[in-house]
Structure 1
Amino acid sequence: MLEKLHRLPAAESLDLAGYRSDFQRHFWTADVTWKLERRLTFREPYTPSWSAMAQGDWARSLSLAAGMRAERAEHQRELDRHGIIQRRIRFVCNPPTPYLQWELQLLFHWAELGEQIRVLPVEAAEALEGDAVLPEVVILGDRRPDPVMYEIGYTDGLLSGARRFDDLDVIESCRNEIRELWERGGDLLPYFHREIQNLPPPPPQGV
């Protein structure tokens, strides 16, 4: 189902502001969230750590990433208070793209704090793909009766909005596929120590 998602009609197409508002409205009532990250390069110019990486200041990028940990720890405490479990499958490549090398620095902190993150080689995604790459997907809700799913949209690598799906059969099918990929994945923390931690700084990317 995931590889067909781009051809299915969505319940609603949301611009960036609409997506963020809709996401916040549904997020805190979820029991489990599932996130599928397939693409290997994005742009996040509004995140100072990403901008430092893109400008070639890797030491500052890492420092800023570490500085985000306290806020994320408070976010995790709030998740725990609400009983929300977050699971993410992140496709990776070797060697990593500069974006991926940077993002995994953040995800390392998120995983240490409690997000359940696993990784799979990108070849595992390519084996499932036909006329399009797998989409970036977030599903809010597992057992609750009204889950919501978003196919995240990007323009020139920048987050630009989403298509929201409410069809329970479509959501269940996609959730099962994401869960299967997540169960096949390896834990992020040992992967990070083995493959990412000791890499040289990525080259400047420009902003």
Structure 2
Amino acid sequence: MRDPHAPDLPVEQGEALERMVYKREFRERDAAIRDRDSWKFERRQDFTEKDNPSWDAFVRGDWETSLRLIEDDREAVLRANEQDALHRSFFHRARIVEKPLTPYVQWSLHSFRMQAECGQRIRIVGADALAASDRDSVLPEVVVLGGRTLYRVLYDEVGAPYGAVRYTDPEIIGNWEDYIRGLYEVGEDVRTFFDREVAHLPPPTVAAE
């Protein structure tokens, strides 16, 4: 196992962005990346999705529709992966999973499995890999785009996104890129994890908002 200690993210070195600015900037910077990979670290076990029909169906208790809507995205994910290959730039996701699975994580793993079947690079890492890093507080959600921009994504108390903090310092970015890559390398492919831990589970339920 690699060194489990996460790098620092000094608040004073980042620039706060409100949600719509972050979303627009993320799309623009992501589309411009060539010949460099990107990395995402997902730690939280509960989120509230916005603008996601499958999530909305899940919250309503319509599990079959939720899964169908995930599958409806397959062609779009395939096209996105083709673009990644064309740009020689792939997005890697290291997803921390605690047991027992939360309803959110169980739902999201169905989407991740489909994305992995389309070529997306997603691995599952057990929470024990972070024992030394988030003993006192949970680590942040972090995205590193093309080795040039780092975003700490911000969420409210119910897990709804409301913005991000942007970092451009090369040392901070490099440290976090190495950290996420290390977790990814020891992680398990989401497809084998899904087959063993998720496929047999009954539909999860979540309280309607």
The normalised TM-score by structure 1 is 0.92
Partner of 1:165: 167
Partner of 2:176: 174
**Structure 2 portions without partners, runs of 5+:** none
Contact kept, 8 Å, 1:3 with 1:134, in 2: the verdict is no
Contact kept, 8 Å, 1:148 with 1:165, in 2: the verdict is yes
Deviations 1:9-60 (A, max 9, x none): 2331100111012112211233201000000000114211111111211111
- Post-superposition shift, 1:130? 4.2
Q: Distance in 2 between matches of 1:166 and 1:91?
A: 25
RMSD: 1.5
Partner of 1:96: 101
Q: Distance in 1 between matches of 2:172 and 2:197?
A: 35
Q: Distance in 1 between matches of 2:129 and 2:138?
A: 11
Contact kept, 8 Å, 2:54 with 2:66, in 1: the verdict is yes
Q: Select which of 97, 116, 130 maps to 1:125.
A: 130
- Post-superposition shift, 1:109? 1.1
Could you say if the C-alpha distance between residues 112 and 136 of structure 1 is closer, same or farther in structure 2, counting changes exceeding 3 Å? same
Q: Percent identity?
A: 35
Q: Does 1:14 align with 2:3?
A: no
Q: Does 1:4 align with 2:8?
A: yes
Contact kept, 8 Å, 1:2 with 1:135, in 2: the verdict is no
Partner of 1:67: 72
Q: Distance in 1 between matches of 2:161 and 2:96?
A: 18
Partner of 1:190: 192
Partner of 2:29: 26
Q: Which runs of 4+ in 1 moved over 4 A?
A: none
Contact kept, 8 Å, 1:86 with 1:115, in 2: the verdict is yes
The normalised TM-score by structure 2 is 0.91
Q: Distance in 2 between matches of 1:98 and 1:206?
A: 12
Contact kept, 8 Å, 1:93 with 1:121, in 2: the verdict is yes
